[in-house]
Amino acid sequence: MNRNKTILYSLILAFTIVAPFAFPNFGTQLATLWLMIIVAITWDMTGGQMGYNSLGNIFFYGTGMYVAALITIGLTYDVGDYTSAAGGGIYEFTDLEYFGGMALGILGAGLFCSACAIVIGWLTFGLRGPYFAIGTLGVAIAAGELVSNWEWVGGGQGIALPVYPGDFDTGKTYFYFLFAAVGIGAFLFARWLYGTRFGSAINAIRDDEEKADAMGIHTLRYKLYTWAMAAFFVGMAGGISAFQLIHFEPLETAYQTINLGIFMVVCVLLGGKGTLWGPVVGAILFHLFKEVTWNYLLGWQWVALGALIVVTVVYFQDGVMGWLVHKKPEWFGIRVEKKVASGSK
Amino acid sequence: MKKLSMLSVLMAVFTLLFSQTSLAACGEIVIGSAISLTGKYATNGVHAQKGYEYAISKIKENGGVKIDGKCYNFKVIYYDDESKGDRAATLAERLISQDKVQYMLGPYSSGMTKAIAPVTEKYQIPMVEAEGASRSLFNKGYKYIFAVLSTSEQYLASTIGLAASVAEKNGKSPSSVKVAIAVENDPFSLDIRAGVLDDAEKFGMQIIIDEKLPRDLSDMSAILTKVKLLKPDLLVVSGHSKGAATAVRQISEQNVKVPLIAMTHCEATDVTGKFGDAANDIVCPTQWAETMSYEDPIFGTAANYESGFKKAYPEYKGRQVPYQTAQASAAVYVFKDAFERAGSMDKEKVRDALSATEMQTFYGNIKFSEAGNNIAKPMALRQIQDGRYNVVAPAEFASHELNWPRK
Amino acid sequence: MDQILGNIGLLIDYPVVNLKIVLDGVMIGALFALAAYGLALVWGVMNVKNLAQGDFVIAGGYVSWWLVEHGFPALLGVPVAFIVMWGIGWVIYKLVISRVIERDLFTSLLATFGLAIMMAQIMNLMFGSDTQSVDLGYPTLHFFDGFIDVPIAKLIGVLMASALAAGVIVFMKSSRMGQAIRATAQDARAARVLGIDTEKVYAFTFSLNSAICGAAGAIIVMVWIIQPFYGISYSIRAFVIVTAAGLGNLPGVIAAGLGIGALEQYGAHIFGIGYQQAVAVMLLLLVLLYRLIQQRRNRQVLK
């Protein structure tokens, strides 16, 4: 069993490394795939494992973009001047300023988003069920609207970051590996986390928060830490996206609530909620479906996507992993008589 | 309903397959374009797409593109950018790296063009764009982007000049003119605002209202109330199609009396068709008017273009052909011209030919600056007079006098 | 900051402006309230949180617009939209909604989100992406030196909305089906035991919701403008209102609808129109936080 796993993991790792070179034309799509995987895994940390279904995780993505961009710009130039030129003035960045700024920016984005998660979580974790989902969605929408009216950060114009210095194809591979690194980090972190006492505690919160509380689990603290960890990865992913996209603006790109913000939930449901591999599998399937329909069903792509969401949610709720666990429990090291306990609900 | 949509999906797949197997007598030049077919820019994205398609069919009728004695037809691969910048950039990349497109036609709106330009630049793919007017596109040193239209600060700047001259005529100093600005919070409209602010400052005019419209606008009565209270002499509105529709409707409902109202996207929204007399005396900047005296061998005169286009797309009957469509057609024509002069399909040669463009089209004269914007074509201002769009400025094109003050 | 102070100054210098803002807000708020009431119904009765609410509204608007385009009188649009959307609502119920009732919250939220994007795109393909509106051709009434303007079309719209709301209230109170709906909302199992066909009640409730939204949309197209992708902003308002007012509280929903309409207009006047949506969403957050604090206080009392 263990050896099989090692082989599986090394195969995936090998594919990850080889992919951008084997399919050089799909560099950006592969990078976006990693982005989807990151946001799906982190959404599942609160949504699947802890039972808190947030619709506002996109807040961390958008905030991460802005924080990373502002740190990079602010280290070299005056932010107000830079944004009021709307990408108009010629602002040069040396390699050191670009890569140094990027490193600090992405890290800063992650940390800042964690801090945001603590504050927002402290305010909203008292909400339950649909109210938590709607409340967090509200935070994300409000943030987008406020940022789009904030001229110092460019308002509705958005921010244009400097272009990757050097060859474009190298740039593509570079961003791919940045995303992949964060994605692998998020996956390994989640894998480790779910095996610890902490993981059991958040599962207990999902199963019955009152009982968990009564058993002496400081539930609020656990909820805040979990969300902060998720926010850290999403914030970093947002930071990388900012550099990869070069130009971004608040409502459609950064705080894209009804796009990526909800797609990440669909990914998790598609793959299987509350499982380690579910979000990864779901993100891959969703991304594939989206790219294929956008290519071959022009005009009908949104209809197809809507139908996919409806069908997944209505008829296929346990997701791919839930289905697999149900059909092939032995793959997961579960003996058949334990089947009831292994249901994904 | 679901069955029906499934059926249509299947049909769409089939038509797609068949359309690709049909053979043409001439060769094919494949151009890529990511354009807004859904989302907030969809109205104008579709206008532009029809402009591209009309020009392609016209060029085909006239014998296609002749390169080195052989004939070619254009074929455009479209993707839908959903009016989202990040999507547009991804699609541009896909067009270039997966569909192996060597030439691009622009998307709709400055924001999308801004998102695509770094990509085409990096891949050194010449892009002729017709719908991205923001100044910030042309001060980055881009070498592969060519815009047939005038840049956005010129859209309404002439309105400021007009307001100043009206003030002088009435014995007032231009600096006494009070201006109210309501523009959408997006790159194009913010650029228009910047142009208006610059020009207003030159005359020392006072800006008394300066607000940004939200993107999903359907109600602007809050601004119009302020306009009524503060009584500006000039009201400037820019918000793509929904901005124009909302503004015209509510200005007439609330009986807002401003002597001069200027607004973008009047034709694209078909304000006269939708609101009738309510749209009267509004001044609209236009890149092109069918009354202008330009012509070329493919499309004929500007008026010929209008009638031909309406014949090909009957849904435009009884309304103004938007300039967004005309300039899209002009962009395709510029490509044809450049290919023929280059005498080659090599993208570098095509780029060089593009930058040397100097021609007249039904849409106006086209000559690109070093930065890639068209410097040979002025903007015109039209006023809606009794439901007709009449050119009132600049002087050399004006066919009618300005109605002032607006009733 | 100066601008904000200046805008507040305008409110004080011209008190009549307050009246206008409230009027404008109440008129749009009446339509928000309709959509919100439909949401409160399906949420309360069958625990379905319908994110496609706004798209039903827009679809109703297109029904009315289509009629006018084909030469029918504009006022016919409201009843026809009501009927057509009733049918569409019923079909959607049978295909999708009937399978998500009593499942966990994300099922209905996401299933209806999928519906919402499908509907928006289908409308885009059917009617084009252009903004549309219907002009009734009635004049505008002016009061107070023309500061207060009430377009007759708007007046008719608000009257129709109130008539519809009143009709629904009477229906819920006095008809057999209305009673069955209320009984199901209180306790579906008990209702079933007492011989109520809850499946029928659900189908009826969802169709009714869809019809109410459709009628609201037909009114909106007479007074404001619609576009295939506008649904989401009506959905957001509906959620704000229902969250603020609570379920099963029709007067509360109407009051919250009118109140949010007015507060949004105030927000747009004071902070600038760009903040209109932000104001609506901030109100939602404030209501949620207020509820939370109230709850915490209650818990402390219990200890």
Comparing A209 with C144, which gets the higher pLDDT? Answer: A209
Q: Is residue C82 part of a domain?
A: yes
Q: How confident is the model at residue C12 (pLDDT cuts 50, 70, 90)?
A: confident
For B185-233, write each residue's pLDDT tens digit.
Answer: 887 888 888 888 888 888 899 999 888 888 777 788 888 888 988 899 9
Q: Which H or E run contains B29? A: strand B27-35
> Both B84 and B221 in a single domain?
no
Q: Chain C contacts of A305, Cβ < 8 Å?
A: 114, 117
Minimum Cα–Cα distance from C278: chain B residue: B214
Name the pTM for this structure: 0.85
* Contact present, C160 and C219 (Cβ < 8 Å): yes
CA distance A43 to A32: 16
Q: Is residue B15 part of a domain?
A: no
Q: Do A307 and B5 touch (CB under 8 A)?
A: yes
Q: Is residue B215 part of a domain?
A: yes
Q: Is residue C178 part of a domain?
A: yes
Q: What is the CATH number of the domain that holds B214?
A: 3.40.50.2300
Q: Is residue C21 part of a domain?
A: no
Q: Do B223 and C273 touch (CB under 8 A)?
A: yes
Q: Is residue C230 part of a domain?
A: yes
Minimum Cα–Cα distance from A311: chain B residue: B2
For C66-77, write each residue's pLDDT tens digit.
Answer: 999 888 888 898
**Pick from A87, A155, A303: which is nearest to B5 by CB?**
A303
Over residues C35-59, the mean pLDDT reads: 90
Looking at residue B128, its pLDDT comes to 92
- B368-371 long-range Cβ contacts below 8 angstroms, 24+ apart: B368/B146, B368/B147, B369/B138, B371/B138, B371/B139, B371/B141, B371/B142
> Both B141 and B74 in a single domain?
yes
> Both B386 and B239 in a single domain?
yes
Please tell me the total count of domains within chain C: 1
> Both B272 and B295 in a single domain?
no
For A5-34, write each residue's pLDDT tens digit.
Answer: 888 888 888 888 888 888 877 878 889 999
> Both B279 and B348 in a single domain?
no
Per-residue tens of pLDDT for chain A, all 345 residues: 577 888 888 888 888 888 888 887 787 888 999 999 999 999 999 988 998 888 899 999 999 999 999 999 888 888 777 777 654 556 778 888 889 999 999 999 999 999 999 999 998 888 877 788 888 988 999 999 899 888 888 888 888 888 888 777 788 889 999 999 999 999 999 999 999 999 999 999 988 888 888 888 888 999 999 999 999 999 999 999 999 888 888 888 889 888 888 889 888 988 888 888 889 999 999 999 888 887 777 778 888 888 888 888 888 777 777 777 777 777 776 666 544 444 444
Q: Do C100 and A258 touch (CB under 8 A)?
A: no
Q: Is residue C147 part of a domain?
A: yes
Comparing B281 with A343, which gets the higher pLDDT? Answer: B281
Q: Do B9 and A304 touch (CB under 8 A)?
A: yes
Q: Which chains touch C (3 or more CB pairs under 8 A)?
A: A, B
* Contact present, C219 and C31 (Cβ < 8 Å): yes
> Both B350 and B388 in a single domain?
no
**Pick from A130, A141, A317: which is nearest to C281 by CB?**
A141
For B334-376, write each residue's pLDDT tens digit.
Answer: 999 999 999 888 889 999 999 999 999 998 899 998 888 888 8
Name the DSSP letter for residue C75: G
Q: Is residue B46 part of a domain?
A: yes
Q: Chain C contacts of B274, Cβ < 8 Å?
A: 132-133, 135
Looking at residue C17, its pLDDT comes to 84
C1, C3, C93, C117: which to substitute to probe chain A, counting the most A Cβ within 10 Å?
C117
Q: Do B122 and A32 touch (CB under 8 A)?
A: no
Looking at residue A337, its pLDDT comes to 57
Residue ranges making up the domain that contains B353: 26-150+291-367
**Tally of CB atoms within 10 A around A174:** 21
CA distance B265 to C17: 30
Q: Is residue B145 part of a domain?
A: yes
Min distance A250 CA to chain C CA atoms (Å): 13
Q: Is residue B14 part of a domain?
A: no
Q: Is residue C52 part of a domain?
A: yes
**Pick from A126, A266, A303: which is nearest to C122 by CB?**
A303
Q: Is A328 helix (H, G, I), strand (E, B) or coil?
A: coil
Q: Chain A contacts of B89, Cβ < 8 Å?
A: 245-247
Q: Is residue C164 part of a domain?
A: yes
Min distance C86 CA to chain B CA atoms (Å): 14
- What b/e string do you get for C272-285 counting C-beta neighbours within 10 Å, with b at 16 or more? bbbbbbbbbbbbbb
Comparing A230 with B123, which gets the higher pLDDT? Answer: A230
Q: How confident is the model at residue C301 (pLDDT cuts 50, 70, 90)?
A: very low
What ipTM was reported for this prediction? 0.85
> Both B279 and B351 in a single domain?
no
Min distance A323 CA to chain B CA atoms (Å): 25
**Pick from C122, C128, C133: which is nearest to B274 by CB?**
C133
B183, B217, B317: which to substitute to probe chain C, counting the most C Cβ within 10 Å?
B217
Q: Is residue C297 part of a domain?
A: no
Q: Chain B contacts of C121, Cβ < 8 Å?
A: 38
Name the DSSP letter for residue C195: T
Sorted by where each begins, the domain ranges of chain A are 29-257, 263-345
**Tally of CB atoms within 10 A around B19:** 8
Min distance B82 CA to chain C CA atoms (Å): 11
Please tell me the total count of domains within chain B: 2
Vertex B36 angle, CA B31 and B39, to 5°: 165
Over residues C106-113, the mean pLDDT reads: 84
Min distance A60 CA to chain C CA atoms (Å): 18
Residue ranges making up the domain that contains C40: 27-131+141-249
Q: Is residue B259 part of a domain?
A: yes
Q: Do C272 and B212 touch (CB under 8 A)?
A: yes
> Both B140 and B270 in a single domain?
no
Looking at residue C302, its pLDDT comes to 43
For B150-165, write each residue's pLDDT tens digit.
Answer: 888 788 878 888 888 8
Q: Do C292 and A126 touch (CB under 8 A)?
A: yes
Q: Chain B contacts of C268, Cβ < 8 Å?
A: 222-223
A303, A305, A315, A318: which to substitute to probe chain C, counting the most C Cβ within 10 Å?
A303
Please provide residue B261's backbone torsions phi and psi, each rounded to the nearest 5 degrees. Answer: -120, 125
Q: Is A28 on the interface with B (CB under 8 A)?
A: yes
Q: Is B39 on the interface with C (CB under 8 A)?
A: yes
Q: Chain C contacts of B316, Cβ < 8 Å?
A: none
Q: Is A157 on the interface with B (CB under 8 A)?
A: yes
